[in-house]
Amino acid sequence: MSKPYKKKRRRRKQRHSVSRILIPVICLIVVLSGAVGGVWYYKEYGGDPVRTYETATYNSNLYQGSLFADDLCVAANDVALTGFDDEDSLHAAGLFNLNDKTVEYGYKLYDKLYPASTTKLMTAYLAFKYGNMDDIVTVSDSVSSFASDEVVCNLQPGDTVTLYDLLCGLLLRSGNDCGVAIAEHISGSVEAFAELMNSEAKALGATGSHFVNPHGLHNENHYTTAYDLYLIFNACIQDQRFMDIISMDSYTMNLTGADGTTRTFDVVPTNYYSSGKINAPEGIRVFGGKTGTTDEAGCCVILYSEDLEKNPYISIIMGAEDKSFLYQEMNRLLEAGETTKTE
C-alpha cells in the first residue's frame, strides 16, 4: 500500500513543478500580446484610440452626449454685446449666429419664463414631424372654449380643414383654436399632446421647459426658457415648410362647415416685420418668426433673419412691456449684432 501512495505523491510533485514553470510563461505571453496589440491599435487609430473609437463606433443619433451640441450655439452664462445694454427692462434676450455657432448676446437665457404664444413653435414642430400637410382635420367642440379676447381663427365645431391651413393659422395669426385642433388630430387630446410636447422638447435639449397646452395661454405649470425657445425654433427652421409659412405676408384658410358650406378666413402675421408695421435695420432681412403676449409673459418675439452676406441669425426678446418697446429693442439688438460683426 505504501508504494502506490508514494508514486502518487511523486506525480503530484511533478505536476506542481510543471505548473510553476508554465503559469509564468503563459502570463508573460498574455502581457506581451496585449502590449503588441496596444501598440498596433495606437498606431492604427492615429494616436488617440479612445476618441477615434467613439467617433467611428457610436451612432450619433443614439449617443448624443458628446456630439449633441456640435451644431448649436452654446453659452454657459450671460454674453455681453456692445451697443445693447438695456436688458434690465426685459425678462430675457438672445442673439444667435447660426453660421459661427456662437451666442452673440445672451441675457437670462436659462431663466424659466412664461412663453405665451411662442409655445406654438413646439406645436408646429410636432405637426410637421407627425402629421401630413394634406390631412383633413375635423374640428371638435373644444374650439368653443376660448374667451372673446383670445385670438382665434373662427373655427367652428364640425369644420373640416387641412392640417396645412391650421398651421398657417397657428403660425401667422397665432390662432389658439388652431393649436387645439392640431393637438387633438396628432395625439387625440390636448393632454396627450402636452405629454408629447414635453418628451420631444427634452429630445431637443429643451430641458428647462414644461408644457400643458398647445397654445400658451397662461398656466403656472407652463413655462420655458429663452434658450429652449432658440432650440425649438432652430429645429423648426430645418423644415422648409415652416420657413415658407413664416415668410408669408398673408394666407387665406379654406374651411368647410359641418353642413357642407365652404368659407374662407384671411390671416396675417402677428409679427410687425412680416405685416409691414415696422422695418428691419438696414442690411438685415427678417424672414419671419413667432410672437407671444400675455399679461404674465409680457410681449415676446423670436425671429429668423439674415444679413447682406446671407449669414443667418435667430434673435429673441421676452418680457417687453409693450409691443412698441418690443420692436424698438429688437431693432437695437439686430443693429448691435450687425455693427459688432463689421467692426
- Any idea which residues carry the catalytic annotation? 117, 120, 174
Q: Cα–Cα–Cα angle for 215, 217, 219, nearest 5°? A: 120
Contact 91, 318 (CB under 8 A): yes
Nearest to 121 by CA among 182, 156, 171: 171
Nearest to 301 by CA among 84, 122, 93, 78: 93
Scan for cell 508504494, then name that residue.
3
Euclidean distance between the first and final Cα of the chain, in Å?
104
Sheet holding 160-162, edge to edge: 136-138, 160-162, 251-256, 262-267
Contact 335, 280 (CB under 8 A): no
Q: Which three cell numbers stand for residue 149?
A: 379676447
